[in-house]
Amino acid sequence: MKYIIAPSILTVQKSDIVASIKEIENCGARWIHFDVMDGKFVPATTFDIDEIRSLLSQTKVFKDVHLMINNPRSMVKAYIDAGANNVTFHFEACKDYIEVSAIIDMIHQYGAKAGLSIKPGSDINAILPFLSKLDLVLVMSVEPGKGGQKFIDKSLKKINLLYKYKTKNKLNNLLIEVDGGINDKTLQSCVKKGANVLVVGSYLFNHPDFADRFKKIND
Ligand code: DX5
Ligand code: ZN
């Protein structure tokens, strides 16, 4: 398989999430993406730690938790204890490079994979020093905070720059994930530039037949 699809349940109504998780599993998805928003780093709020614990316990599929929260350092252990397999936090939510590095180490120490995400307006060069110790780098291809937005084309350049750095430095296991505005077309453009994990929300869930769309884009 050339890439992994990580369906995001962000746009699913709360009462339907458990059923959607089962549906995702039944289609053979290998990952599920959970968006955590705190109403501070981004305006919206999604799940608190108790809700996440209950949702993560519903599935054995790899659980990719995307923290759009301030002060991620204070919360990473709680999310790992709650069942996250990968924890991605935001570069912009950290006060300095020392903190970014400390959080990556902390995630590893508690036994999860570590991801670092960058917003569309931030300079991609700023996160290159961390790539060798990360499992995943997440390029936000929309402004974080809500589903259903249009893919920002300049993200493709960022993906390509990361891919070139990864190749040059032989970081063969580093995953390059893209999140926001992914559909059948933008997915292909991202994969061509070197992305290998694609978060897909509204394209899959704002559609009557999830399974049909999943099959269409699952490689
Ligand atoms: C946005 C979230 C995404 C969101 C993507 O801040 O991080 O994971 O669910 O939704 P779509 O695929 O609709 O852009
Ligand atoms: Zn996300």
What DSSP assignment string belongs to 47-75? --HHHHHHHHTT--SEEEEEEE-S-GGGT
Burial, 2: exposed, middle or buried (Cβ in 10 Å; 0-12, 13-18, 19+)? Answer: exposed
Has 35 been annotated as catalytic? Answer: yes
Residue 137 belongs to what domain range? 4-218
Task: For the sheet with 113-118, list strands across it.
Answer: 4-7, 197-200, 175-179, 136-140, 113-118, 86-90, 62-68, 31-37
**What is the C-alpha separation between 121 and 200, in angstroms, rounded?**
21
Using CA atoms, how far apart are residues 175 and 136, in angstroms rounded to an integer? 4
Residue 111 region by backbone torsions, left for phi larger than 0, else alpha for psi between -120 and 50, else beta: left
177's enclosing H/E stretch is: strand 175-179
The model's pLDDT over 68-120, given as tens digits with 9 standing for 90+, comes to 999 999 999 999 999 999 999 999 999 999 999 999 999 999 999 999 999 99
Residue 99 Cα to ligand 2 midpoint, Å, equals: 22
Residue 34 near residue 65 (C-beta atoms within 8 A): yes
Domain count, the chain: 1
> For this structure, is 153 an active site residue?
no
148 Cβ below 6 A of ligand 1: yes
Rounded to an integer, what distance in angstroms lies between the CA atom of residue 179 and that of residue 162?
15
Distance between Cα 172 and ligand 2 center (Å): 23
Residue 219: what pLDDT? 67
CATH number (domain holding residue 209): 3.20.20.70
As a whole number of angstroms, the distance between CA 50 and CA 70 comes to 18
Verify whether ligand 1 is closer than 6 Å to residue 120 (CB atom): no
Q: Which residues of the chain have pLDDT under 70?
A: 1, 219
Q: Does residue 201 line the site of ligand 1, with CB under 6 A?
A: yes
Instruction: Pick the catalytic residue from 35, 38, 64, 135.
Output: 35
Give, for ligand 1, the residue of 146, 179, 182, 197 to mutate: max count of ligand atoms closer than 8 Å to Cβ.
179
Dist. CA 144–CA 163, nearest whole Å: 22
For residue 92, the tally of other CB atoms under 10 A from its CB is: 16
